[in-house]
Amino acid sequence: MVKKSVMIVEDEEDIFKLLQYNLTREGFDVDGMSRGDGAVDAIARRKPDLVLLDLMLPGMGGLEICRLLKGKPETAGIPVVMLTAKGEESDVVVGLQMGADDYVVKPFSMKVLLARLQAVLRRREQVPVLADAILKVHDLTINPGRHEVLCGKSAVELTVSEFRVLHFLARRPGWVFTREQIVDGVKGLDYAVTDRAVDVQMVSLRRKLGKRGDLIETVRGVGYRFRE
């Protein structure tokens, strides 16, 4: 497994050392900064897998750093977890609105912090790098920009949600997704997609894909996958 890298921006030395020790032990590559100014450039240069960001920092505050990171295309995709103190709730809300992925309140339990980091990283891995790229898998061509699916040369008429579900699965052939992950993955639609609705859509998708309906496999007791 490739080591994940974490950039910790934290001016309190004790907290930094505690984080550094525990994250290194968990297999992360740890890098750190104790000032806010220069953090944005350093993060843009090193492109860590995740940023742990204190809010009260000398030089530049964490919220400003978060705003700048999320505003630059080259750093916008790097997950940010804020380290906050009690009483900073309104800053937390601002940070989340700016695109921070999660937050942990000090003093935190290392177990909770690690669980949050892993969850953020997992979520991030499900996000496609090129969401708009045309996908060609088996004899299907999926064009997200045009919302079009071709099976061989013939167009397959799908509803918006069927299209999103198919695109979500086909981006990672062979990966098994639970119904819940599929629901999460196609969020952003105007109407709710429930676990039951996922099953209904799979039936409909398979029917519409005709002889290639077999590309969507049921993994008993778990969920669905697109054939590898």
For residue 65, what are the CA distances in angstroms to 68, 151, 154? 5, 46, 49
110 alpha carbon, distance to own chain's centre: 22
Asked if 91 is part of the footprint of Ca ion (rule: CB under 5 A), the reply reads no
Q: Which x/- pattern over 54-73 shows residues binding Ca ion (rule: CB under 5 A)? A: x-x-----------------
Specify the stretch interacting with Ca ion by CB under 5 A; choose among 8-16, 89-97, 188-196, 214-222. Answer: 8-16
In the complex, the smallest distance separating the C-beta of residue 41 from Ca ion, rounded to whole angstroms, is 20
Q: What amino acid is encoded at 16 in this protein?
A: F
Specify the stretch interacting with Ca ion by CB under 5 A; choose among 47-55, 68-76, 152-160, 185-193. Answer: 47-55
Q: What amino acid is encoded at 171 in this protein?
A: R
Specify the stretch interacting with Ca ion by CB under 5 A; choose among 10-18, 25-33, 102-110, 197-205. Answer: 10-18
Q: Which x/- pattern over 14-43 shows residues binding Ca ion (rule: CB under 5 A)? A: ------------------------------
The answer to whether residues 50 and 7 touch, using CB atoms and an 8 Å cutoff, is yes
Q: In sequence order, what E strands does the chain have?
A: 5-9, 29-33, 50-54, 80-85, 102-106, 135-137, 140-143, 148-151, 154-156, 176-178, 216-219, 223-226
Contact residues: Ca ion, CB under 5 A: 11, 54, 56
